[in-house]
Amino acid sequence: MLTPDYLDTLPDAVVELWQQVEDDILRDIARRIGALDELEPLTPAAQWQVWRYEQVQACHQDAISLLAKYSGKSRDVIRQTLLDAGLETLASDDALYQALGFAPSAIDTNETLNNLLNAGYRQTLGTWRNLTATTANTVTGEFERALDRAWLQVSSGAFSYDVAIRRAVDGLAAHMNGVTYPSGHKDTLEVAVRRAVLTGTNQTCAKLQLARAEEMGCEFVEVSAHAGARPEHALWQGKVYHIGGAVELDGVWYEDFETATGYGTGPGLCGWNCRHNFYPFFPGVSKRLYDDAALAKLADKTVEYGGKMYTEYEIRQMQRALERQVRKAKRQFLTEQAAGVDTTRASARLRDARRALNGFLDATGGKLSAARTDVAGFGPREASITTKQVKDNTLTNAIGAEIIKVTKSTRNGIPGSITQKENAKGGIDRNYYGQDGRQTKQISNNDHGHKAESALGQHGEHAHDYTWDENGTMYHGKARELTEEERKENSDIL
């Protein structure tokens, strides 16, 4: 049997390789998008199309070269992952058989087991190859769409080069599809590879276990159980089932293994991303690891966070979301750096994401999963840069709220943040962002040389409010007087 903890980390070695592929492709795309500022906003359409074609073709070719570079390494790691898992699960089951007086055959001389292991490797490798064969075309399509959006924003005058480039690369850093399934569904490389390796390995190990059970004449299995199981999996975890149909034995009813657990299907036992497994069980001799009372406790809300109680499954999902935010912030920093734009906001996002994750782990007693927060190319040097950027570019206003110094004002920022920039016409602008990251207000300590604003306040200080419609269009409110609360909050610049 493979434990839930073993299965949780099983794909990490392969996923780490493909995270690096994904991150390398992303930085290459960011460099190409950053090259947009080589073009004039009024570049003729024909010239733009030629430049675009050259960039797209180069991106596609670079992706192909990078995939070829990692394909050999991936095959070796997948093979070793399957071999280790197969030996682990058989060793665990064989120990139970031997304790009951059985004599399982040696693994290396059992043709059936070796054929199953090789077939599992070929199937898992085939799934991986089929998915990654779509990667070059998928990421090139993502690049094309991002490039076109950025160029439209610049050429129409809606955004400056810097803002359009940052919006494009931040969007890809947040989510860049890397594979396309036959159904047309798309996923990131990391998600697709983790699912393929975990599912393929667990399914192969399950087939090895069933073959060994048949050899030993074992007709019953007990399914593993763990706290935090998916609700639909919690229904059948930890129970004993009969292989080959439901039966009654010594007054106890045993459901059919496949029917009850969905074994052999994507959403069932040993299916997509499933961390359950099973092990041999002999009624009248074996003792269940989990009785009904123990199983019921696994679904209890046992973890306190923020004054509320949660199940371990809910806490794990919350932790995964925070880990993704750290990875997202690191990738945004690296892509902005590759694109040649100011990375101050990305550094602040990373600082905030780390704080949120560390605070959550401290409060819930969780452990940091480095594999889920690491990003290839983000090492001690980059960490030092982000730390220094935050330190050099943050200050506090009159009531102690943090302000991030920036060189340009943007319509979207860090949710709940305030930024500050020196205005080209003199004075200071402070920009406020709502919890959705959209700008809600700007406060200026001068009139920018405008007659209308000069009539406001004592020195032309004023505020603008911003509203957004359902289509994402922002509306710029007229200049108004500052409220007493706004004056108190910003008295350090008034």
pLDDT at 174 over 70: yes
- In DSSP notation, 471-488 reads TS-EEEPPPBPPPHHHHH
Per residue in 235-263, pLDDT (tens digit) is 999 999 999 999 999 999 999 999 999 99
Q: What is the mean pLDDT of residues 180-185?
A: 89
Identify the pLDDT of residue 441: 95
Identify the pLDDT of residue 415: 84
pLDDT at 42 over 70: no
Decide: 299 and 225 in contact? Cβ < 8 Å.
no
Q: What is the mean pLDDT of residues 455-465?
A: 92
Instruction: Give the range among 41-55, 87-101, 199-213 with minimum mean pLDDT.
Output: 41-55
Amino acid at 197: V
Residue 233 pLDDT grade (very low, low, confident, very high; cuts 50, 70, 90): very high
Percent of the chain with pLDDT over 90: 44
Q: Which residues pair with 422 in a beta bridge?
A: 428
Mean residue pLDDT of the chain comes to 89
Going by C-beta distance under 8 Å and a sequence separation of 6 or more, which residues neighbour residue 193?
Answer: 11, 14, 15, 18, 128, 131, 132
pLDDT at 227 over 90: no
Identify the pLDDT of residue 138: 93
Q: What is the mean pLDDT of residues 66-85?
A: 88
CA proximity to 414, closest of 166, 246, 82: 166
Residue 375 pLDDT grade (very low, low, confident, very high; cuts 50, 70, 90): confident
Per residue in 13-39, pLDDT (tens digit) is 888 888 888 889 999 999 999 888 887
Identify the pLDDT of residue 426: 76
Identify the pLDDT of residue 442: 94
Decide: 280 and 210 in contact? Cβ < 8 Å.
no
Task: Determine if the pTM surpasses 0.95.
Answer: no
pLDDT at 196 over 80: yes
